[in-house]
Each structure stands twice: as C-alpha cells, then as structure tokens.
Structure 1
Amino acid sequence: MSTSPATAGPAPRLPRFEEFRAPPQWRAIDFISDLHLQASQPATCAAFEAHLLHTSADAVMILGDLFEAWVGDDARDGAFERGIVETLHEAASRRRIAFMAGNRDFLVGSELLGACGMTALPDPTVLLAFGERVLLTHGDALCLEDTAYQRFRAEVRTEAWRDAFLARPLAERRSIAERMREASRAHQAGQREELWADVDAAAAVQWMRATGTSVMVHGHTHRPGDQVLAPGFMRMVLTDWECDRGSQRAGVLRLSERGFERVAPATGS
C-alpha cells in the first residue's frame, strides 16, 4: 500500500478530537465504511443489512460513506432510503450503531440519526476500548495532496453552504449530487488508481501523537490493508463494499480483547 510522502506539505491545524468510551461489558466492535449504498446495487445493500442484523459484535461503527450520496434528511422518505432507515433502526435495537460522516454523506443530520437510532461519531474520534486508544477517522481530511478536494471540503462543511444547499428543492439537490458523482467518476477514470491521493503519513502521525494513539482506523481510500506509517504508528484501512459487479468485495475490521482481526460480513445463515 502506498502513502503520500511526508514532504507533501505542511500539516493542517489539528482538529478537535472527541472521545468515545466503550462500555465495559462490550466484547467486540465492528468497523465498516465506504458501502456507498444506492438503489442500483441491491446485493451490496443486502450484504450490509445481513451483517448489521446478524453480527455478533456489540457495536457497529460506520466510518463514513454509508450512502453513495446524501442530499439532506428529507430524502429519508424515498422508497430506497426508507428501507435503509428501517434496517438501521432494527439493528440499533439490538446493538449500538454509530455513524461518522464521510465525504459522500456529510449532510446526514440529527433527523436521520434519530430515525435510525444511530449515535453520532464526530470525525475524528478517539475510541477507548479493551484497554486500547484507537484513532477513528473517515480519512478524507488527511488526503492533503488533493488540494482541490481540500478546498471543496472546506467550503461545503461551512454552515452557510449547508444552509443554502438544503434550502434548494429535494429534486434539485438530487440532480446536483448526480452531476457531482459523474464528474468524480470521470476524474477517477482519467487517473491510474495508484495515483489517487492517499492519507498524508506525516499528518496522520501528528494526529496520533496528539491523541496518544498508536493505531488509526480509516476508510475513504478504498485501499484496504495495514501499514506502519512511522515506528510505533500504524494505520488500518477499511475495505470498501462492492457486491454487485462480480467482485464480491466486502469486509469488516473487528476489535475485541484479542486485538484487531479482519472478518467476513455476517450472513445470518
């Protein structure tokens, strides 16, 4: 797995780090991300639903990009979205479901979280569990080489941009999101995958030093694997999910008293 060089540029100002302390009775926590759920990918949605409802873990932490696009909580009444909300709500009655926004679903708000029974997980968050301190993030804020994206990210995360966008009619917001996805797909198609921006190693280590963590778990890059970023500092990258195009790619990172392990999604069978 490649990583951006430490000389990519000055690290950004440190963000605010929240903490999440796991209850002492928990025995396992699952981490997933980058499911990009959408109506056109029913097999991926079914795999997500099966794992959410049948995993043996006490909690599932979704570290961003649950949806291919989320244009506002009023979209939850659509036929496809309503099914996902019902699945999340049922799962949340059995175990803790925590959600961290990604670059595709940063507009998820309190209304959707409440309807699903999900716990909001700020980005970044330090998880305290099983005697460990683990840094959790979606990962996009650390992809510093993609300066155009970082400028876009800074703009759309402002309250003014959010309010103005959400004031548009739902149909218009859906149309805008589709055009943005098409532009993103066209941009990626013109680049080799290994040239896509990755997490900046120096900035990631800076975050971990500041939080007293030695392991960072993130998604976003679609490059699953484990990597030592510097002596004593490791990142674990989550698998993106794609079960509709023959690849059958899906995976779960689990943390328990035994440490980290990568497991297949639960099927309920």
Structure 2
Amino acid sequence: MHTGIPRFEVLCAPAHWRRVDFISDLHLQAGAPDARVSTRSLWQHYLQTTPADALFILGDLFEVWVGDDALHETGSFEARVCADLQAAARRLPVWFMQGNRDFLAGAAFLGHCGIAALADPAVLVFGGQRILLSHGDLLCLEDRDYQRFRLQVRSAAWQQRFLAQPLAVRRAQARSMRQESEARKRLGAPCADVDAAAAIAWLNAADARTLVHGHTHQPAEHALAPGLQRLVLSDWDAAATPARAEALRLSAAGWQRLAALP
C-alpha cells in the first residue's frame, strides 16, 4: 500500500519563540485501573510547569474520543481534561493533531479548549529548520488492515453514521473496539513501524530534514538517509516501570528528551 505524497500545512513560528515541545500518545481515559488517572496527573503537572513557548500534541491525547458532545456530559472525563487544556492555552499556544484514537475530536473540541488544529502532516518552520510533524499511523504501510480501517473511519459518511448514534452507544462501541485491539495484542499481533522509504519521500517533498511522530510507542532516533532523521515520541504511562512521561523539546541547545515527571 502506498500513501502517496500528501499536502503539507506550513506553520511559521513567531520570532520570539525560544523552545517548543512535542508530545503524543498519552491515551488518557477514565475509569479503573487508575493508572491513566495518574497519567493525567503527570499531564497536569507538565502543563503547569513547562517553560515551552508552544506545545504540539501529535495525536492520541485520549484513549478514545467518541464525539465532541462528550464535553457536555456532566462530570465527563473529557470535560475535565479539556479544562486542563483551557488553563494551558491561557499560558501558551497549543496545537492539536488528531491521532488514530481521537480522530473524531473536532471544531467544537478545539474551540472549547482554546487550542488550534494541526493538519497531519504539517511542517513547522522554527529555529532555522523545517520540521515535518505527523501522528505517524499513515506511514505504517505494512499494517494493511489498519490502513483500510483508517480509510473507512476517516470518511465523512462513516463519521456521520457513527456520530448520529446516542453517546452511550458510541461509548459502548468504543469499548468493544478497544477490547478487540487488546486481544489481538495479547495474541502477538505484530506492531507495524513507519516505512522508511515513505518517510524519506515525505521529508524530501516537504523540504524538511527531521520527521517527528508518535503512534508506534517506540521512542528512538533513526537516521533515514544522509542528513535526514526520524524522531519518535514516547507514549505516556504512569503504571509502567519506570513511569513514562516524556516531552521532546527543540531549542537553541538542540533536541532534548525531557522526563515530564514531578
């Protein structure tokens, strides 16, 4: 399967920015076990203390997002996390890119939180660099079943049918899909990685030297070709040993991986 070369949204950083942070794959969710609640606590601490001039969330902030109307459900977990974003957005600009888990987060979500949408992929011009940003799932070409599923659920027709259902029905369907996904993992279903040739093609088309993405939960630095690199963001999991909560920062000091822990 071939993704082709997409169009790239270009964002030019203001001159006063000195450092920018990139995070992804927090997979925040409500309910037991409380590990994800603890992850949310790490997320809150990070938002309150980061010295970044801007924050880019590259998908899967939520374990699942079943529609922007979840914000209006009294006491919903979604509303509480959005309150965290509202507070952060009053302090620094925040950009949000949809992931494979929260691709239904739409305009109402963004407006409620006071944050900006970021296309996938996008190019950030900052510090004399052109940096290509993506969630990363679109580049995992070996996972053909997922790519077919992605094409289906990103269609306007599928989303219209899904969102027309009652919120409780959508939540139940989301739980069922998560359970099926976890079952496949327990059976040893392989996790596809980003296709290197496709990543290089994207970088060349975007006139960028660095690709930053999440999705694979395999934080690393990959040399793709002379002068081209791929930086993979970490997922966040407070229940892991040791706990994982990491931001990737770019500043005059270069690229740094920083533990977002108290």
TM-score, scaled to structure 2: 0.95
One-letter amino acid of the counterpart of residue 212, structure 1: D
* Distance in 2, Cα, partners of 1:77 & 1:185: 29
Aligned-pair distance for 1:257? 2.0
For the pair 1:94 / 2:91, whether they are aligned, the reply is yes
* Distance in 1, Cα, partners of 2:120 & 2:231: 16
Which runs of structure 2 are paired with 1:38-117 in the superposition (5 Å)?
38-40=29-31, 41-78=36-73, 79=75, 80-117=77-114
* Distance in 2, Cα, partners of 1:36 & 1:214: 28
SS at match of 1:43: helix
More divergent stretch after superposition (166-175 vs 255-264):
255-264
Which of 115, 128, 134 is matched with 1:137 structurally?
134
TM-score, scaled to structure 1: 0.92
Match in the other structure for 1:168:
165
Asked whether the 8 Å contact 2:20–2:55 carries over to 1, the reply is yes
Q: Deviations over 1:209-265 (max 9, x none)?
A: 001111100000000010112222110000000003544111110011222111121
List, as ranges, runs of 4+ consecutive aligned residues in structure 1 with deviation greater than 2 Å. 244-247
Which of 191, 207, 215 is matched with 2:210 structurally?
215
Aligned-pair distance for 1:46? 0.5
Q: Deviations over 1:168-191 (max 9, x none)?
A: 110000011111101111111111
One-letter amino acid of the counterpart of residue 213, structure 1: A
Match in the other structure for 1:14:
5
Asked whether the 8 Å contact 1:55–1:266 carries over to 2, the reply is no
SS at match of 2:47: helix
SS at match of 1:162: helix
For the pair 1:159 / 2:153, whether they are aligned, the reply is no
Asked whether the 8 Å contact 1:54–1:266 carries over to 2, the reply is no
Which of 216, 219, 228 is matched with 2:223 structurally?
228
* Distance in 2, Cα, partners of 1:229 & 1:245: 29
- Structure 2, unmatched stretches of 5+, are none
For the pair 1:179 / 2:176, whether they are aligned, the reply is yes
Match in the other structure for 1:23:
14
Match in the other structure for 1:34:
25
* Distance in 2, Cα, partners of 1:109 & 1:38: 18
One-letter amino acid of the counterpart of residue 48, structure 1: W
Q: Deviations over 1:28-73 (max 9, x none)?
A: 1000000000123211000011111210001111000000000000
One-letter amino acid of the counterpart of residue 112, structure 1: F
More divergent stretch after superposition (251-260 vs 117-126):
251-260
Asked whether the 8 Å contact 1:11–1:202 carries over to 2, the reply is no
* Distance in 1, Cα, partners of 2:163 & 2:251: 40
Match in the other structure for 1:4:
none
* Distance in 2, Cα, partners of 1:51 & 1:197: 30
* Distance in 1, Cα, partners of 2:45 & 2:182: 28
Asked whether the 8 Å contact 1:27–1:256 carries over to 2, the reply is yes
Which of 233, 238, 258 is matched with 1:238 structurally?
233
Let me know the Cα RMSD of the aligned residues. Answer: 1.2
